[in-house]
């Protein structure tokens, strides 16, 4: 099992990463993609990649919530991190109209830079999208070229999924979608082609109901096992499939 998306560098996990990784390994998780969200946390992601080279796959990107606070040299900084970690992917980045006072113009511009970088460096891009499916589709369709990309914690409709599939999208399922009220999302995952589905925790956020590994108010990344089991039941796919898709995507 590979956790396609988490934030082990999150300050809420500070000092506990070695222990968390130990538990993850003990339940059969072999690797995870640790997503940076802003220039301030990229060094922490890099540090985890250095400390756990066989387990942590780094990703560097600017989350739409953090776009506002980027430096003038953010793109250069991002390029530096990607050059230093040739196996790193790009993310998390994207569009968000759910947040308070979104600066959409900046979000779009920053998102485009990530997509272009993905094409230029041939790295997959992990995309966050909340309440911005129309604008996201427009961006993807109007891009001069597209990198391989993952729509993480995908909660869009089947109609959106179908359009994104045509553009080559991969989709990851998180534990949050196991809540009874998320039936619609589960229905979408049942219809997706088997070779486009990944699993993720988004730890420390997006907790599942009744987690196998409760961790105060946080989502423990070892809960991936529970998420995987549920999704296997739901889609009738096997675990190897999700891991193979992660590798195929290049994460
Ligand atoms: Zn995330």
Please report the pLDDT score of residue 101 as a whole number: 85
Let me know how many helices (H) and strands (E) the chain has, helices first.
9, 10
Distance (Å) from CA 127 to ligand 1 centroid: 9
Alpha carbons 225 and 9: distance in angstroms, whole number: 20
Q: Give dist(CA 170, CA 197) in Å, integer.
A: 6
- The full set of domain ranges for the chain reads 2-249
Contacts of 224 (CB under 8 A, 6+ apart): 1, 3, 24, 27, 29, 32, 199, 200, 201
* Lookup: tokens for 110: 């920053």
- State the burial class of residue 12 (Cβ atoms within 10 Å of its Cβ: 0-12, 13-18, 19+): middle
Residues facing residue 198 across a β-bridge: 172
Beta-carbon contacts of residue 90 (< 8 Å; ≥ 6 apart):
59, 60, 61, 78, 82, 114, 117, 118, 121, 123, 124, 125, 126, 147
Q: What's the CA gap between 124 and 226, in Å, rounded? A: 26
Measured between alpha carbons, how far is residue 121 from residues 15, 32, 90, 184, 201 in Å? 33, 21, 10, 36, 27
35 Cα–ligand 1 center, Å: 7
CA 150 to ligand 1 center in whole angstroms: 12
pTM listed for this prediction? 0.97
CA of 236 to the centre of ligand 1 (A): 26
121 CA from centroid of ligand 1 (Å): 22
Residue 102 is predicted with a pLDDT of: 84
**What are the phi and psi torsion angles at 149 (to 5°)?**
-145, 155
Residue 204 CA to ligand 1 centre (angstroms): 9
CATH for the stretch 2-249: 3.20.20.140
Q: Which regions in the chain score pLDDT beneath 50?
A: none
Rounded to the nearest whole angstrom, what is the distance from the C-alpha of residue 126 to the centroid of ligand 1?
Answer: 9
Non-local (6+) Cβ contacts of 44 within 8 A are 9, 36
Q: What is the distance between the alpha carbons of residues 23 and 130, in angstroms, rounded to a whole number?
A: 31
- Residue 155 Cα, ligand 1 centroid: separation in angstroms? 13
The alpha carbon of 89 and the centre of ligand 1 are apart by a number of angstroms equal to 14
Compute how many other C-beta atoms are within 10 angstroms of the C-beta atom of residue 249.
23
Distance from residue 38's CA to the centre of ligand 1 (Å) = 12
Upstream peptide bond of 92 is cis (omega within 30 degrees of 0):
yes
Measured in Å, residue 201 CA sits from the centre of ligand 1 at: 9
- Distance in Å, CA 152 to ligand 1 centroid: 8
Q: How far is the CA of 162 from the centre of ligand 1 (A)?
A: 23
In the prediction, which pLDDT does 251 show? Answer: 95
């Amino acid at each position: 099992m590979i956790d396609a998306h988490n934030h082990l560098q999150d300050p809420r996990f500070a000092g506990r990463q070695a222990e968390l990784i130990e538990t993850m390994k003990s339940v059969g998780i072999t690797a995870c993609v640790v997503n940076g969200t802003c220039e301030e946390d990229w060094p922490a992601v890099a540090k985890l990649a250095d400390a756990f080279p066989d387990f942590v796959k780094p990703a560097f990107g600017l989350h739409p919530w953090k776009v506002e606070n980027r430096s003038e040299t953010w793109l250069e900084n991002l390029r530096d991190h990607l050059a230093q970690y040739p196996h790193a992917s790009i993310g998390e980045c994207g569009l968000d109209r759910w947040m308070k006072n979104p600066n959409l113009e900046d979000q779009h511009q920053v998102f485009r830079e990530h997509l272009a970088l993905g094409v230029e460096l041939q790295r997959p891009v992990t995309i966050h999208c909340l309440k911005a499916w129309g604008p996201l589709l427009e961006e993807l369709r109007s891009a001069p070229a597209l990198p391989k990309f993952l729509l993480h914690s995908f909660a869009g409709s089947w109609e959106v999924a179908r359009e994104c599939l045509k553009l080559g999208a991969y989709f990851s399922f998180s534990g949050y979608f196991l809540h009874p009220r998320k039936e619609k999302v589960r229905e979408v995952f049942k219809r997706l082609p088997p070779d486009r589905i990944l699993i993720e925790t988004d730890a420390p956020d997006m907790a599942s109901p009744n987690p196998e590994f409760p961790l105060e108010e946080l989502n423990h990344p070892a809960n991936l096992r529970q998420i995987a089991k549920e999704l296997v039941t739901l889609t009738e796919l096997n675990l190897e499939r999700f891991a193979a898709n992660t590798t195929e995507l290049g994460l």
